[in-house]
Structures are given as C-alpha cells and as structure tokens.
Amino acid sequence: MVDTSAAQAAEAAAEAVAATDPAVTAEIGVIGGSGFYSFLDDVTEVTVRTPYGAPSDSLFVGELAGRRVAFLPRHGRGHSVPPHRINYRANLWALRAVGVRQVMGPCAVGGLQAEYGPGTLLVPDQLVDRTKSRAQTFFDGEVLADGNVPNVVHMTFADPYCPTGRAVALAAARGRDWEPVDGGTMVVIEGPRFSTRAESRWHAAQGWSVVGMTGHPEAVLARELGLCYTSMSLVTDLDAGAETGEGVSHEEVLRVFGQNVDRLREVLFDAVAALPKTEDRACLCVRAHEGWDLGIELP
C-alpha cells in the first residue's frame, strides 16, 4: 500500500496557493479587527492559502481614499484565535500574495509607565520579544507544503519598524488632534494571560513603554518579506505593575478599545491615504533582502 497523503497534501496546498484570485489586489495591508473595515462599501472577501497554512481569516479587500487596502482580522472574525495560536506567517504571506507591500498594525496594549494611561496612542520604534512558542521565520530550512525549500537567512532587525510608516502614522494622529507618543519600546509577551505584577514591574523597570501579545513575530515576519510594518498601539489599560487596582481585565480592555476605535480608525485611514506608493518606497524595509539568497520565490 502506498501512502499518498503527504503528496496529496502538498498538491492541495499548491492548488490552493494558485487559487488566489489574481484579479483582487491591494497595495496596503491592515491587520486589525472588523471595526476597521465593516462599514466600507464594495469589500471583496478573498480566501488565500499559503505554503505556511491558512491565515487567521479571509482578506477583506476594498478601496479607501483611492488606495487598494486588504484588511485581515488578526484573531479571525469573532476573535476566535488567541495570540499564541495566530498563524503569523500565513497572515503576512497572504497579504504579500495579493500585492501588499506596506502593513499597518493597530493593536491594543497595556501601558507600562504611569504617563501612558488609557487612550494613549503610541507609535513604537523598538520591541522586545518575550514570546515562547511562535514560528518567527519563513526561512527555517524545511520543505514547504508546495515542495520548495527556503534557505536560512538572518535579517537585520535593529530598527524593527518602518520609519516612513511611523512618520505617516504620527502625522495622521496629530492631524486629528490626538497627540501621539513618538517612539518607545513594546514588549511582546506570550499570553493569553496578562502579566503578573512582578513581570509587569520588571518590564516597567527596564524603561519599556507598553506591553502587548501580537506585535511579535508580526513585525519580523513583515521584514522578512520586505514589507513595511508600522505598529499603532492604543493603550487600553495600565499594566499590573503600573496601576494599584485589581490588575488588567479583558472587559476593561474591550471597553477602552471600544471608546477609542472610531478615532483610531480615522487616524488609521488618514495614514493609509498618506503612505507612499509601492514603487516610491525608499526605506530600509525595501532593502531587507540585499545580499541574501532566499531559496524561494516570494509571492
């Protein structure tokens, strides 16, 4: 008896990759909740399969201020995928597969310093990875479902965020009279639980600014694909080490996010409209692959 299951799986994966509708393209990606696109007209839902598996959800592609934008619900619709189980590789690959080259990543974070209270918008310029179980690279030298084998590469990641995207996001916030915090360090924890007080005090004592659960490996995977990535971090609570109450609750996070989602969307959309055209990008992200033989074709 011949075991054909592996071959069939590879064939199915290759077919699924090829099935991406070539007519639906986008230049800018937004990884965030349905609150960001649910009211847009003429949104096309596109299912994309990748050599790294399935993304969190379909892409929702539409037009915004004359730009083609693909929205991807990071946790899937209905918030069904916890941070540590998000297929970050598939999410970024899927965006690139429809043409996206610049990604905005709005997210909810906890403030680690007393001055970064709920409602603060912070555009970080550094990150610290404290995650534990996540695939952090496309280039791990293993055979992909489509039969290709990526080489091992080591990306430069000293500056994890796109400087152009950061400047655009900051200007967009100021344009809406929402003075943002320019720079700071996001520490990304594994979750899904929130930090203990000891962990939180330690994070704060390092001088780090905010804590989140999804900012990594999103940023590094974008860099590996030569995509620009910008985090727009909305503080929904003071983290356990910076407050004196009962600690962070999910209800509180949702409440504050709900209060700010409208203006965050306004700033996000202004930023999307102001991003450079794909061919005009002149940032370090574009040069990520210089000197490397990736071993695989990027979509």
- Which residue positions form the known binding site? 34, 74-75, 213-214, 237-239
Cβ proximity to Zn ion: between 69 and 283 the closer is 283
283 touches Zn ion (CB under 5 A)? yes
Tokens 């590094």 belong to residue: 220
Report, in Å, the least distance between residue 126 CB and Zn ion. 16
Residues placed in the known binding site for phosphate: 34, 74-75, 214
Buried/exposed code over 96-135 (b: 16+ C-beta within 10 A; e: otherwise): bbbbbbbbbbbbbbbbbbeebebebbbbbbebbbebeebe
How far is the C-alpha of 87 from the C-alpha of 93, rounded, in Å? Answer: 10
Applying the rule CB under 5 A, the residues between 221 and 250 that interact with Zn ion are 228
User: Helix (H) and strand (E) counts for the chain?
Assistant: 6, 11
Residue 237 is among the residues annotated as catalytic for this protein: yes
122 phi/psi in degrees, rounded to 5: -120, 130
Binding letters toward Zn ion, positions 127-166, x by CB under 5 A: -----------------------------------x----
Cβ proximity to Zn ion: between 17 and 162 the closer is 162
DSSP 210-230: EEESSHHHHHHHHHHTT-EEE
Report, in Å, the least distance between residue 96 CB and Zn ion. 14
Binding letters toward Zn ion, positions 161-200, x by CB under 5 A: -x--------------------------------------
Cβ proximity to Zn ion: between 54 and 167 the closer is 167
Please give the single-letter amino acid code of residue 294.
Answer: L
How far is the C-alpha of 207 from the C-alpha of 221, rounded, in Å? Answer: 25
| Contact assessment for residue 233 and residue 107, using Cβ atoms and an 8 Å cutoff | yes
> What ranges make up the beta strands (E) of 32-167?
44-46, 59-64, 67-72, 102-111, 121-123, 126-130
104 touches Zn ion (CB under 5 A)? no
Residue 41 is among the residues annotated as catalytic for this protein: no
- Catalytic one of 129, 146, 239, 270: 239
- Taking CB under 5 A as the binding criterion, the range among 18-26, 192-200, 204-212, 220-228 that sits at the site for Zn ion is 220-228
What positions carry a catalytic annotation? 237, 239
Give the interface with Zn ion as residue ranges (CB under 5 A): 162, 228, 283, 285
